[in-house]
Amino acid sequence: MADFKATTISSVNDIPIKLWNDLKCTENTYFTPEFLGAYEKSNPQVDFNYIIVKDHNDDFVAFANLQTITLTIDVILKNIKLAKPLKKLLRFFLCNSPLKILFCGNAFLSGEHGIFLKKGLDKYVLFKTITKEISALSKRTKPLHAIFVKDFYKDSLYITDELLNFEYTAMPVDPNMILKLRPEWQSYDDYKQDLKSKYRVKVNKADSTSAVLEMKDFNEADFATYKDQLQALYENTIANADFNAQVLDLETYVKLRSLYKKDFIVQAYFFENKLVGFLSALKTNDHLDAHFIGLDYGVSKQLAIYPRILNDYVRLGIKHQVKQINFGRTASEIKTTIGALPEPLMCYIRHKRSWVNNLISPFFKMVNLKDFKQHDVFKQKKEAK
């Protein structure tokens, strides 16, 4: 077995520059010191940690991103599909007091943004090294109730199922909704022409209903002016979401815009000079990733703000000529009506105390995802001609 040594560091500023050079992970925006630093500096209510792994030559071979967050049991159970008696029993085991949870992965985003393993090495051994260090960190973190390792795509499960040997329970979560853009879509009209009539009518209706909105691309100065309103709209939206690990301070967005300029996009929507919604997205290489949105629910339905936001994500993807748009989790069915397909995600959870973990793990195994209808929105190729 290769000789790997893991260490935990409490600030991204203390990570040696050599790590970024050795791993060559900064080609992925989500594994750069600048991106991670924007979240750490803007969210002091969250305890950030980073695991770094060296080999016997003192070269860096792996990295993991962690946060410790306080959640209520109701927030956790909100997104779990279980019978009411089982939820009541699970609430009894977990207590009604706030729970401290150690997340491995980016608690603010969905997707594989938590662990980076250097290519060409034994990924099983590297992952096991990180898993052992997570366990060691959990023992040093007091109080701590549970550990949540997130989010992994199907292709990674042959590695991440190693967590099952450490008393974790595998738990599926809502999928990321992905739209693959076709090369021939050079304009939004090209995209609409490939939609079946029913769905083309639907996106056109959203655009016509929302035509009264004034849309503005926000820059750094706009953030300074509207930051409190953006924060309020965002918190409106996450209050209605099935699950949210932590409220993000949108000061993070000020830093991301400063770092990534026009690749970090915030479009704001005004109605009668009042800010009533926004979308945010990050262009990374040939992908466009939707980040948080904000809605004024008092006018959202009548003005079709959310469907308009989904349409505008498609417009942005075509404008930036990306290969795919990641719409993230939640509201899966409506996202399928514009062509998005689910990409399953797996997480792993365990209680810090083994005896409690043994009692509650059967409940997590019974978790079912919420069902949604998958819409088939595109014409067959021969119909699209």
Q: Averaged over 97-123, what is the pLDDT?
A: 92
pLDDT at 383 over 60: no
pLDDT at 302 over 90: yes
Considering the domain boundaries, does residue 378 fall inside one?
no
Yes or no: say if 357 and 351 are a contact pair by the CB < 8 Å rule: yes
Q: Which residues, 6 or more positions from 255, have their beta carbon under 8 angstroms from its beta carbon?
A: 37, 38, 41, 42
Q: Quick one: 168 and 186 in the same domain?
A: no
Considering the domain boundaries, does residue 207 fall inside one?
yes
Q: Quick one: 227 and 164 in the same domain?
A: no
Rg (CA), the chain: 22
Give the amino acid at 342. Answer: P
pLDDT at 76 over 70: no
Residue for token pair 């909105």? 213
Residue 54's nearest CA partner among 46, 62, 64, 65 is 62
pLDDT at 83 over 70: no
DSSP structure class, residue 249: P
Instruction: Give CA–CA dist 59/23, Å, rounded.
Output: 9
* DSSP codes of every residue in 328-366: -SS-HHHHHTTT-EEEEEEEEEEESSHHHHHHHHHHHHT
Q: Quick one: 162 and 191 in the same domain?
A: no
The pairing of beta strand 264-271 with beta strand 5-9: unpaired
Three-state secondary-structure class, residue 383: helix
Ranges of beta strands (E only) in 92-241 are: 99-104, 115-117, 146-152, 169-180, 214-217
Sign of the CA dihedral 103, 107, 110, 116?
negative
Instruction: Dig out the tokens for 309 from the structure.
Output: 């936001």
Considering the domain boundaries, does residue 380 fall inside one?
no
Q: Quick one: 50 and 166 in the same domain?
A: yes
Range of the domain at 58: 5-173+345-365
Residue 112's nearest CA partner among 344, 350, 283 is 344
> What percent of the chain has a predicted confidence (pLDDT) above 90?
79
Element (H, E) at 143: none
Instruction: Give the pLDDT confidence score for residue 307 in this predicted structure.
Output: 98
pLDDT digits (tens, 9 = 90+) for 203-213: 999 999 999 99
Yes or no: say if 163 and 124 are a contact pair by the CB < 8 Å rule: no
Considering the domain boundaries, does residue 333 fall inside one?
no
Q: Quick one: 25 and 69 in the same domain?
A: yes
pLDDT at 377 over 80: yes
pLDDT digits (tens, 9 = 90+) for 337-352: 999 999 999 999 999 9
pLDDT digits (tens, 9 = 90+) for 167-199: 999 999 899 999 999 999 999 999 999 999 999
Instruction: Dig out the tokens for 282 from the structure.
Output: 């990050």
Q: Quick one: 296 and 360 in the same domain?
A: no
Q: Averaged over 342-369, what is the pLDDT?
A: 87
Q: Quick one: 49 and 157 in the same domain?
A: yes
CATH number of the domain at 67, please: 3.40.630.30
Q: Quick one: 265 and 285 in the same domain?
A: yes
Q: Alpha carbon 152 to chain centroid distance?
A: 11
Structure confidence at residue 99 as a pLDDT band (50, 70, 90): confident
Residue 334 CB neighbours (<10 A): 17
Considering the domain boundaries, does residue 336 fall inside one?
no
Residue for token pair 């793990």? 361
Q: Quick one: 158 and 200 in the same domain?
A: no
pLDDT mean across residues, the chain: 91
pLDDT digits (tens, 9 = 90+) for 225-263: 999 999 999 999 987 765 555 689 999 999 999 999 999
Considering the domain boundaries, does residue 39 fall inside one?
yes
Structure confidence at residue 384 as a pLDDT band (50, 70, 90): very low
Give the amino acid at 47. Answer: D
Considering the domain boundaries, does residue 220 fall inside one?
yes
- Ranges 77-81, 186-190, 272-276, 330-334: which has the least confidence: 77-81
Q: Quick one: 264 and 195 in the same domain?
A: yes
Q: Quick one: 301 and 157 in the same domain?
A: no
Domain count, the chain: 2
Considering the domain boundaries, does residue 371 fall inside one?
no
Q: Quick one: 67 and 92 in the same domain?
A: yes
